[in-house]
A and B are shown apart, each in its own frame.
Chain A
Amino acid sequence: MIGNAIAGLYGVGVTPSTTAYESIATTTVGSGGSSTITFSSIPSTFTHLQVRALYNFGSNANLRMQLNGVTNNTNLHYLTGDGSSASAGRDSAGNIISLQYGSSASYFYVQIMDILDYTSTNKYKVGRHLGGVDYNGSGGVYLGSSLYSTTSAISSISITSNNGQNFLQYSTFALYGIKGA
């Protein structure tokens, strides 16, 4: 069942079971903006988590994700394309999405972020990311892999910018759970 769900998301199109993928919670930012998106009391009944995000900052910022409120335990490797060249990088400053192409009304960044085996107490947590923004003449596409050096089961997720920027109105973060067999 989980193979079908993951394959349906990223792989060869096998029809996923509709009971394997559930919506847990959604946050949409109001007119005042918000500095932090928080998912707390995440149920432990799933195997993987997925965050699907549509977001915008007022100006350039990277995305940070804290698991269980812990900072400075994140390492990131990424591959990006900016329309003219492909590049690779790494980040150990706590960023999970290192993608800065400015800000513009109506043009929102999108990200699909997975956290695998989030309830395991035997392993560090691994995340993978696909996302980007296109402004019809600029922008970038992003593939990333992040490591969270914690063996604790994940019960909360906090998402912020790296520089105090607020998420703008209409930014939306939706958390989903994916079940194993």
Chain B
Amino acid sequence: MAAGATYTPLETQTLGANAASVTFSSISQSYTDLVLVCNSGQVTADTSYNLRVGASNTIDTGTNYSDTALNGNGSTASSYRNTSANRILPAGSNSSSISDNLIFHIQNYSNTTTYKTVLSRANVPGFRVVATVSLWRNTAAINTVQIYGGSNLLAGSTFTLYGIAAA
């Protein structure tokens, strides 16, 4: 019944210098879901992390994204929403050292029937923990993903993209 090993590492980017963003392009369409695992920090603390996606190797910067989030900041549990935004917002805070962990599950990214939903967990020590469901209102297959911060991402931050193939 098993169809074989999956959860394949597609690409890892480790920043040699501070950078504004990290982009994965020409992503194989051979998988079902993508998982982006980030260990990172930013030059300036407590700004944000942001994610964009796109098709045909063109990152969508239009207001085609939205989020619903569950957030804990160490004293209060809350929920917030972003609508018609120009990016996915998995976390509104970040550390100034490489101690943040974000994991994005980009579900059914290669289908051309449904809008694309992203589940993310953001673990930002000292600031917040967030679970978010996000939407890219486009039925196109995703082949490019970009993560960027409210300030530059720190040298040494790592970003690994995995592909999961269903049977």
Contacts and interface: CB of A to CB of B under 8 A. Distances in A.
Contact of A15 (B3, B9, B71, B105): B9
Contacts of A132: 68, 117, 119, 133
A92 B124 CA distance: 33
Contact of B166 (A26, A45, A109): A26
Contact of A141 (B2, B32, B133): B133
Choose among A24, A83, A130 the residue with the greatest number of B CB atoms under 10 Å from its CB. A83
A132 to B, nearest CB: 3
Interface stretch (A61-69, A114-122, A159-167, A168-176): A168-176
Interface in A100-122: 106-110, 112
The A interface, classified by DSSP as helix, strand, loop or mixed, is: strand
Given A81-B131, A176-B164, 10 more contacts: A12-B39, A22-B5, A86-B77, A107-B115, A133-B117, A134-B68, A136-B83, A139-B68, A141-B69, A174-B32
Size band of the interface chain A makes with B: 35 or more
A136 B119 CA distance: 15
Contact of B115 (A10, A16, A106, A172): A106
A135 to B, nearest CB: 7
A112 B33 CA distance: 11
Interface string B90-125: 000000000001010101100101110101010000
Interface string A25-65: 11000000000000001110100000010100000000000
